[in-house]
């Protein structure tokens, strides 16, 4: 059986599949951005993301702001970026690029704007997508004062002392520069220098006395990207200095002087002393962009550094600013990926992993094989439909593909090489962890364990989620420790983590005085947490970090949010109407939120947590001077001077909350042509209505 056709999915089926896709992507993001140890390939990640976006486009009310990478690790001080470092949407073929151009065109309504973004008229800058570590450099009066990793896009790690050792990072900018500017770029390592580094590390290992040649001391990097990331994150800057790191600059963040175009900015970068990729090119129209992509693809193998695609950016900064962002990705940029690399290997076994929501996920364990310079050994098989569709069996010779890192995607099976003993895989109907029935509702793609709280896999996965980077971010609590603590009944609920004492750990294998002190200190440091991270940590289905931020922004405090969720159990209540009025939160997400609070054990867990942690009220980002900061606005009818998308993007950029329906909490209803029932509802509630011209006058045009 093949994966369900998106066009045939019911809303309930779509909701369930989206939950699984988001969970898989969140795990992959943490492994890639925080641990520098990817668990799935770029090709597999991109396939998940494309499927998710296809489903979301058919069910817009189920769409969720695109999550970014998890929060940074705790070895370095935290740095808040002056302007978020966001991720890019991906294209995989010409049709995807065509859709990007069309979406830009559809964003505008004025003829003079549309003419600028016609298929063959839009000016772009196209450049290779470097596979390295994203970094932001802050300069004040031309002097480097701070360097930070991307982190979760909002908060990164302070790696200033290490980045200062990179020769291609200017300590002082040449010529005239803005009073303050964030320069974004990629720290990378060339292929020859990467190979030489690994040879050096191996030689150092072999030079050790035999008794010290332990597995833990043998350190080689899987690929140049991991080598660059690991080198920047060294606690000893002298180690970083010894590594052959380089830097390509390509973007700006917060600045006191914004350029007029992307191409003009590249000229400034060169004048200031930065390396800009020589293959970057200005292209007009989609055909020129695709031609440049094909040209770079031909050169890819001979380039001295790794790339995995070409990035297109709209050249005009005016258009960039107006297009803004959708979720966490810019509307004005696109990453056009290259095809994946492939290899053959043997699938040795298929095993089942149970997640925190009870989902049973099959994992393929492979005979390790080198693909594009990386040794890979396992891959997710998604669900039982995927196994049946490809007829994957233990013992099969499979074709795998890799576009970036470590774990590949299984593309196909070679039936001619199948051993006679290979049998069709039978998906379990009981949970391998607790023995409870594993059921798959009709029409859904995921089979789930029904054991709930009695299932140790679900319980431990929830605890693991609770301490992840985007949640409570507790250093020192890995999977092994969580599982051991749970089975020994030392920690059964999240609140139990905050009751751990040194005496609980002193007699445990592997725990020494220093590691105990470090763990207790890490736990103590997380007794205060922001509301959005707290909501995300609870592991509610369909509530990723982006949805958690929406809820935190809307309700402000834990008490207000909890009261509202419990009141929303009545679908006729004002609380329910207010919940589903939040832009990007529809009935499906509301259903899962209400279901969470309907469970007595969840309410008790919240009560218990309230005794041991302090949840800070959500702080709205500063939009000083904005007349609509923290106001709730609703749009209705057809706007003439901008599309609905542009109007919403502009309102959010100015600090407003955009809702989908009118309620007593609405501050402004902006009324376009052919306004419907929302206008009548606003009049009934006494909500202030504005014409499009009045709205533009209010926000300054």
Active site residues: 129
CB neighbour list of residue 414: distance below 8 Å, 6 or more residues apart:
344, 396, 397, 398, 399
**Alpha carbon distance 642, 107 (integer Å):** 8
SS3 at position 198:
helix
**Alpha carbon distance 133, 247 (integer Å):** 9
Question: Which residue pairs, CB below 8 angstroms and at least 24 apart, start in 171-177?
Answer: 171/143, 171/144, 172/142, 172/143, 172/144, 173/139, 173/142, 173/143, 173/272, 173/273, 174/271, 174/272, 174/273, 175/271, 175/272, 177/139, 177/141, 177/142, 177/272
What b-and-e string marks burial along 660-689, b requiring 16 or more CB atoms within 10 Å of the CB?
A: bbbbebbebbbbbeebeebbebbeeeebeb
**Alpha carbon distance 487, 371 (integer Å):** 38
CB neighbour list of residue 27: distance below 8 Å, 6 or more residues apart:
39
**Alpha carbon distance 104, 289 (integer Å):** 15
Report yes or no: 464 and 507 within 8 Å, Cβ to Cβ: no
Q: Please identify which residue in the block is written with the tokens 């959010």.
A: 652
Tokens of 369: 């094989």
CB neighbour list of residue 218: distance below 8 Å, 6 or more residues apart:
202, 205
SS3 at position 147:
strand
**Burial (CB count within 10 angstroms: exposed 0-12, middle 13-18, buried 19+), residue 456:** middle
**Alpha carbon distance 378, 374 (integer Å):** 12
Tokens of 688: 């202030």
CB neighbour list of residue 211: distance below 8 Å, 6 or more residues apart:
none
Instruction: Please tell me the number of Cα atoms within 13 Å of 546 on its side-chain side.
Output: 23
**Alpha carbon distance 474, 463 (integer Å):** 11
Q: Please identify which residue in the block is written with the tokens 């396939």.
A: 47
What single DSSP character describes residue 621?
P
Report yes or no: 472 and 460 within 8 Å, Cβ to Cβ: no
**Alpha carbon distance 136, 621 (integer Å):** 20
């Amino acid at each position: 059986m093949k994966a369900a056709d998106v066009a045939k999915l019911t809303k309930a089926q779509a909701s369930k599949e989206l939950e699984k896709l988001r969970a898989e992507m969140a795990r992959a993001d943490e492994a890639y951005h925080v641990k520098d140890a990817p668990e799935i390939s770029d090709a597999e990640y991109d396939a998940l993301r494309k499927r998710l976006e296809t489903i979301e486009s058919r069910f817009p009310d189920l769409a969720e702001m695109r999550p970014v990478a998890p929060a940074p690790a705790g070895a370095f001080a935290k740095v808040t970026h002056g302007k978020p470092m966001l991720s890019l949407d991906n294209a995989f073929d010409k049709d995807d690029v065509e859709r990007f151009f069309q979406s830009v065109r559809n964003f505008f309504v004025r003829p003079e704007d549309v003419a600028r973004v016609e298929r063959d008229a839009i000016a772009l800058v196209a450049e290779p997508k470097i596979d390295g570590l994203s970094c932001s450099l802050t300069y004040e009066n031309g002097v480097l004062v701070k360097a930070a990793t991307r982190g979760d896009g909002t908060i990164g790690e302070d790696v200033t002392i290490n980045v200062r050792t990179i020769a291609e990072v200017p300590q002082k900018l040449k010529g005239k520069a803005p009073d303050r500017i964030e320069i974004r770029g990629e720290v990378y390592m060339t292929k020859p220098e990467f190979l030489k580094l690994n040879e050096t590390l191996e030689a150092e290992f072999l030079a050790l006395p035999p008794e010290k040649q332990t597995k833990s001391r043998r350190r080689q990097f899987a690929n140049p990207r991991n080598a660059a990331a690991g080198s920047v994150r060294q606690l000893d800057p002298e180690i970083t200095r010894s590594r052959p790191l380089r830097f390509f600059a390509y973007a700006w963040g917060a600045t006191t002087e914004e350029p007029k175009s992307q191409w003009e900015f590249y000229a400034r970068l060169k004048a200031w002393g930065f390396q800009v990729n020589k293959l970057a090119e200005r292209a007009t129209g989609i055909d020129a962009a695709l031609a440049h992509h094909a040209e770079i693809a031909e050169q890819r193998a001979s380039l001295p550094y790794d790339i995995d695609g070409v990035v297109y950016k709209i050249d005009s900064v005016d258009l960039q600013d107006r297009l803004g962002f959708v979720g966490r990705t810019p509307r004005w940029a696109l990453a056009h990926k290259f095809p994946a690399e492939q290899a053959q290997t043997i699938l040795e076994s298929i095993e089942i992993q149970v997640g925190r929501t009870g989902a049973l996920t099959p994992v393929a364990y492979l005979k390790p094989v080198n693909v594009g310079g990386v040794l890979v050994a396992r891959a997710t098989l998604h669900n039982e439909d995927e196994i049946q569709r490809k007829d994957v069996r233990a013992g099969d010779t499979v074709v795998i593909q890799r576009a970036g890192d470590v774990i590949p995607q299984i593309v196909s099976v070679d039936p001619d090489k199948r051993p006679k003993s290979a049998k069709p895989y039978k998906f379990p109907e009981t949970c391998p962890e607790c023995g409870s029935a594993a059921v798959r509702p009709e029409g859904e793609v995921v089979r789930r364990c029904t054991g709930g709280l009695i299932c140790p896999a679900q319980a431990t996965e929830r605890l693991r989620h609770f301490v992840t980077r985007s949640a409570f971010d507790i250093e020192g609590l890995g999977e092994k420790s969580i599982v051991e603590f749970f089975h020994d009944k030392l920690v059964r609920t999240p609140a139990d983590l905050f009751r751990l004492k040194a005496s609980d750990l002193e007699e445990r294998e592997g725990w020494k005085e220093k590691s105990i002190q470090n763990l207790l200190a890490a736990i103590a440091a997380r007794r205060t947490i922001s509301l959005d991270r707290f909501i995300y940590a609870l592991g509610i289905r369909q509530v990723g970090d982006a949805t958690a931020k929406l809820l935190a922004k809307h309700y402000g405090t834990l008490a207000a949010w909890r009261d509202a969720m419990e009141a929303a159990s009545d679908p006729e209540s004002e609380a329910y109407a207010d919940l589903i009025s939040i832009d990007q939160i529809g009935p499906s997400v509301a259903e899962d939120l209400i279901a969470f609070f309907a469970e007595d054990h969840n309410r008790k867990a919240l009560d218990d947590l309230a005794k041991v942690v302090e949840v800070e009220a959500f702080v709205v980002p500063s939009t000083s001077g904005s007349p609509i900061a923290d106001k709730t606005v609703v749009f209705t009818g057809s706007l003439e001077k901008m599309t609905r998308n542009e109007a919403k993007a502009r309102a959010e950029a100015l600090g407003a909350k955009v809702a989908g329906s009118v309620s007593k909490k609405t501050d402004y209803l902006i009324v376009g042509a052919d306004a419907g029932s929302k206008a009548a509802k606003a009049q009934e509630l006494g909500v202030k209505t504005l014409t499009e011209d009045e709205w533009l006058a209010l926000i300054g045009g």
